[in-house]
Amino acid sequence: MLNISELTLIRSGKNLLENVSLSIKPGQLTIILGPNGAGKSTLLKCCSGALQADTGHITLDKKLLSNWSLADLAKKRAVLTQQIHLPFALTVKEVVSLGLAPWALSDQQASKLIHDTLIEVGMPDTETRQYASLSGGEQQRIQLARVLVQLFADKPSRTKTQSQEGKYLLLDEPISALDLHQQQRVLRLLKNLTQKGLGIFCILHDINLAALYGDKLVLLEKGKVIFNSEPKRLAQGKQIETTYQADLIRLSHPDTQLPQWQFKQ
């Protein structure tokens, strides 16, 4: 379990995070929501070990995050940041294979894993294409494939049922550049992965998709946790409306009865 307790981070007199406590459980898709500048990416950076909080602590499997070695951490969790620009002309296969850095795989195993993962993210047979020639959404899916191979390289010939328990995926807006079809594909893929025991921390902007797919939603506002529970609990309060300060009407999803929101106009 990735456990965050009473995290506070102050930078130039501003509370970027204030007393944040939450946990990312194995087998759960935890979705982080919040307006721009609420501290979502900052929280992700703390969870991934890139930022050190001022007070509070984060533990991964009951061991302080700062006590993990970078190499062990790289085998345990993968992080996808927003928009990665590559200054040199690398092929898709070269980019995805960077995810295999923490592991020692044979060329054959690596090729197979990369091939299979590219199919999963909807970019089959693109290995030899230039990364720079792809569209923003395609590049985003290639980067997703990179973090997926990072997590799964120790079980390269995975079957549908193979457990991924004890591993974590931290994603910063992984579907921001994707079209509708690809958004659905990626969210379904993430959902599938949680069923194999993976714990996922995912920042999203779309509250409706978050409510549909998330096992748990965390709503951040000005660095504080406003809401931390199952999506259906959002149908009761007014947290979404007040946090985003937008004129919204709440609907109920016809199939799942989960809350959904629309602009009043």
Partner 1 sequence: MKRAFYSQIPYPVLILALFMVGIFALTQGAYSISWRDLFLSSMNDIDRQILMTVRLPRLLMAALVGAALAVSGALMQALFRNPLADPGLLGVSSGASVFVGILIVLNPLADNLPLWAQSYLQSIAAFLGAVLTCWLIFQLSKHKGQVSVLHLLLAGIAINALSGSATGLLTYVSNDEQLRALTFWAMGNLGGARWEQVAVIASILLPLLCYAWRQSKNLNLLLLGEEEARYLGLDVESFKIKLIAIVALCVGVTVAFTGLIGFIGLMVPHLIRMLFGADNRIVIPCSALLGASLLTGADTLARLLVIPAELPVGLVTSLLGGPFFLWLLLKNIRETS
Binding-site ranges for partner 1 (CB under 8 A): 48-50, 70-71, 73-75, 78-79, 81, 84, 86-91, 94-95, 98-99, 101-102, 130, 150
Q: 55: which residues sit within 8 A by CB, 6+ positions away?
A: 6, 7, 8
Answer yes or no: are the C-beta atoms of 100 and 92 closer than 8 Å. Answer: no
Question: Between 134 and 248, whose beta carbon lies closer to partner 1?
Answer: 134
Question: Between 64 and 251, whose beta carbon lies closer to partner 1?
Answer: 64
Q: What is the closest distance, in whole angstroms, from the C-beta atom of residue 50 to partner 1 in the complex?
A: 6
Residue among 44, 104, 46 nearest 80 (CA): 44
Answer yes or no: are the C-beta atoms of 166 and 72 closer than 8 Å. Answer: no
Residue among 63, 31, 32, 29 nearest 49 (CA): 63
Q: What is the closest distance, in whole angstroms, from the C-beta atom of residue 153 to partner 1 in the complex?
A: 11
- Is residue 11 packed enough to be buried (19+ CB in 10 Å), middle (13-18) or exposed (0-12)? exposed
Question: Between 97 and 260, whose beta carbon lies closer to partner 1?
Answer: 97
Query: What are the angstrom distances between the C-alpha of 44 and each of 58, 87, 234?
Result: 11, 25, 23
Question: Between 10 and 74, whose beta carbon lies closer to partner 1?
Answer: 74
Question: Between 11 and 188, whose beta carbon lies closer to partner 1?
Answer: 11
Q: What is the closest distance, in whole angstroms, from the C-beta atom of residue 26 to partner 1 in the complex?
A: 20
